[in-house]
Chains A and B, each alone.
Chain A
C-alpha cells in the first residue's frame, strides 16, 4: 500500500529504495549476447580470431559501430555535483541515481547505458575524461552536473566529439517542456509566434528551454526570463558577472524581453500567456494573485520537485487553464523519461555524430502529436505509452539524416522498424530473466 500523504509517501519510497538496493546490489548487469558452445568458442569471440576484427577496426575506425557493441552503448557521465535536489553529493553517491537512469534507458529504449560517475574538479578535467572515453561509446548522456559548468561542458563536447552529447537536465527537460507547450497552446487555441512566455527560474533547464523555444519559432522578444534577482534585462546589476560566468544567460538577457521590462519577478506574469517555472520548490513560490494578472487562459508549468511551485488546484482556482507539474500523481507530468530513451534509440540507430536543437524540435513535435486529442488534462503521453519510444526514435533518427549527422541512412519507417525490434527484443530478454527467476522477486517488506 502506498500511503496517501506526501510526507508519508516520500518516507515509504525512501525506505523501500534503501532495502531493495541492499538486496539487489546494483540495478543492471552485463550478460553475454553470443552463443558460447564450448570453450573453443573463445577462439573466435576472443583470441586468436578476434585479432582480425581488431585489425579491421584499426584500419576503419567507423566499423567499430558495426563490429562491436559501441553502437548501442551510452555512458551516463556525471561528476555528482548536482544530484537530484541533493546538491553536491559526489560521484560515489551519484552512482545509485545513475544506475536508476541506466535502468530506464534500457527498459524503455533498449539502450545499454553504463553509469560512469567520475571524480573531476574542473570543467576542463571533465571534458578531458569525456573525450578519452569517446572510443567506447555511441553517445554520452550528461547528468546532474552543476550550472553553469554544465553549459561549458556540453558546448565543448558537442563541438569536439563525433558522437552525440546530451545533457538531460538541459536538453531532455527542454524538449519535454516544448512538447507539452505545443499541446497546451493547441488546447487554448493560441499561436506559437504570438505567445508570451515567462521562464520563471534561470537554472540549466530553463536556459536550455529558452534556446529551444526560439529554435521552435517562439519569438525571442516575447520571452521573459525571471529569477530570484527579478526580471532579466540588459541593464540588470549582475550582467557583468553573467558575461563572465554564464554567457548563455547573458546572451538571453540581450535577445529576450523585447519590451525591456524591469522589476521583481512577479511583474513578469502581467499579460503573459505561459509560465514555465523551474524554480524553488513550492507550494508558495508562485502566488495565485500573480496568475490573475496573466492573459486569458493561462498555462502554468510548475515543474519544481518534489513540491510544485503552486498546487494545481490552487492555480486552477486562480484561473489557470492548463497546469503541468513534474509529478506523476497529477495530470500532465512533464517527465524526461518520455524523451531521452527515444532520442538515444534514434541517434544510436542512425549512428549519429551529434544532436542539435532542430532534431530536438522534431522530437518534441513527435511527442506532442502522439497525443491525438489534447485536452487541458492530457497534453503529454505517459510512460506506459510503449509505442511512443520507437516513434520518437524514428523521428530523431530521420532528423539526424536530414541534418547530415547520420552514419546510417534509412527512411522514417525503416528506422521505426529497427527501433521497435530492438526495444521489443530487449524487453523479451528481460521478461525471460524475470520468468526464469534469474532476476529475483522483490523482497518482502517488514
Chain B
C-alpha cells in the first residue's frame, strides 16, 4: 500500500479530514494522561481553529502529506517570537500525526524536513515541539530526531473534591 506521497500546504477543503487525524492524536494523549481528556463537543471550535491556521500562513506552517488523494499525515507548527532570548524566533511544532499505514516509511521525516526548509527560508534556526510529558511515543519520536527537553510545563488540578 505504499504509494507515492505528496506534500502540500493545508487548504480549507482538507480541514475536516485533517481534524480527524488530529483528534486521533489527542485521543492518544488521553491514553497517557487523564489531564488530556478529549472534549468530544468541541469539534466546531477545533474546525474554526484549524481553518484559521490554514488561512494564516504568515504565523503558521501546516503541511499535509497525501497518498492517492487521502491524507497520510499532518504537521502543524507556529512561528513564535522569543523576546528575551537569542535566537529571536522559533518554530514550535504543535501537532504531528502520521496514519498507521504510513509510519516507518519516512512520511514523518518528510513533513519535518519540509518545516526545516520553511525555517531556513525565514532564517529561523530553532525548532521546538510540545506534547504531553507522559506520551512516550512522542517523546521517543523527538528524541530519535535529536531533540532534547528544554522547557517544562507543570500542572495540577486545584478543584477540591
Q: A212-237 CB contact bits vs B (8 Å, 1 = yes)?
A: 00000000000000000000001101
**Whose C-beta in chain B lies nearest to the C-beta of A234?**
B101
Contacts of A234 in B (CB 8 A): 1, 99-101
Decide if A313 is an interface residue (CB 8 Å cutoff). Answer: no
A240 touches B31 (CB 8 A): yes
- Determine how close the nearest CB of chain B comes to the CB of A349; give it in whole angstroms: 41
**Whose C-beta in chain B lies nearest to the C-beta of A235?**
B99
A260 touches B1 (CB 8 A): yes
- Determine how close the nearest CB of chain B comes to the CB of A243; give it in whole angstroms: 7
B99 touches A243 (CB 8 A): no
B31 touches A239 (CB 8 A): no
**Whose C-beta in chain A lies nearest to the C-beta of B136?**
A244
Q: B100-135 CB contact bits vs A (8 Å, 1 = yes)?
A: 110000000000000000000000000000000000
Decide if A253 is an interface residue (CB 8 Å cutoff). Answer: yes
Bound complex: CA A239 to CA B99 (Å): 9
Question: Known: A234-B99, A235-B99, A260-B1. Contact between A243 and B24, CB under 8 A?
Answer: no
Decide if B27 is an interface residue (CB 8 Å cutoff). Answer: yes
Residues of B contacting A: mostly:
helix
Picked from B25, B28, B99, the residue with its CB within 8 Å of the CB of A241 is B28
B101 touches A254 (CB 8 A): yes
- Determine how close the nearest CB of chain B comes to the CB of A230; give it in whole angstroms: 16
Contacts of B59 in A (CB 8 A): none
- Determine how close the nearest CB of chain A comes to the CB of B36; give it in whole angstroms: 13
Residues of A contacting B: mostly:
helix
**Number of A residues contacting the other chain (C-beta, 8 Å)?**
12
Decide if B49 is an interface residue (CB 8 Å cutoff). Answer: no
B100 touches A254 (CB 8 A): yes
Bound complex: CA A240 to CA B98 (Å): 10
Which chain B residues numbered 33 to 81 have a C-beta less than 8 Å away from chain A? Answer: none
Picked from A237, A239, A243, A260, the residue with its CB within 8 Å of the CB of B137 is A243
Bound complex: CA A90 to CA B120 (Å): 60
Bound complex: CA A158 to CA B69 (Å): 43
**Whose C-beta in chain A lies nearest to the C-beta of B102?**
A234
Bound complex: CA A240 to CA B103 (Å): 11
Decide if A250 is an interface residue (CB 8 Å cutoff). Answer: yes
**Whose C-beta in chain A lies nearest to the C-beta of B27?**
A240
Q: B12-32 CB contact bits vs A (8 Å, 1 = yes)?
A: 000000000000110110010
Which of B1, B27, B31, B100: most chain A Cβ within 10 A?
B100
Bound complex: CA A235 to CA B101 (Å): 8
Contacts of B27 in A (CB 8 A): 237, 240-241
- Determine how close the nearest CB of chain B comes to the CB of A301; give it in whole angstroms: 29
Bound complex: CA A394 to CA B100 (Å): 43
Contacts of B25 in A (CB 8 A): 240
- Determine how close the nearest CB of chain A comes to the CB of B102; give it in whole angstroms: 9
Question: Known: A244-B31, A244-B137. Contact between A239 and B1, CB under 8 A?
Answer: no
Contacts of B100 in A (CB 8 A): 234-235, 239-240, 243, 250, 253-254
Which chain A residues numbered 175 to 231 have a C-beta less than 8 Å away from chain B? Answer: none
A residues lining the B interface (CB < 8 Å): 234-235, 237, 239-241, 243-244, 250, 253-254, 260
Add 20 more A-B contacts to A243-B137, A244-B137, A253-B100 (CB < 8 A): A234-B1, A234-B99, A234-B100, A234-B101, A235-B99, A235-B100, A235-B101, A237-B24, A237-B27, A239-B24, A239-B100, A240-B25, A240-B27, A240-B31, A241-B27, A241-B31, A244-B28, A254-B100, A254-B101, A260-B1
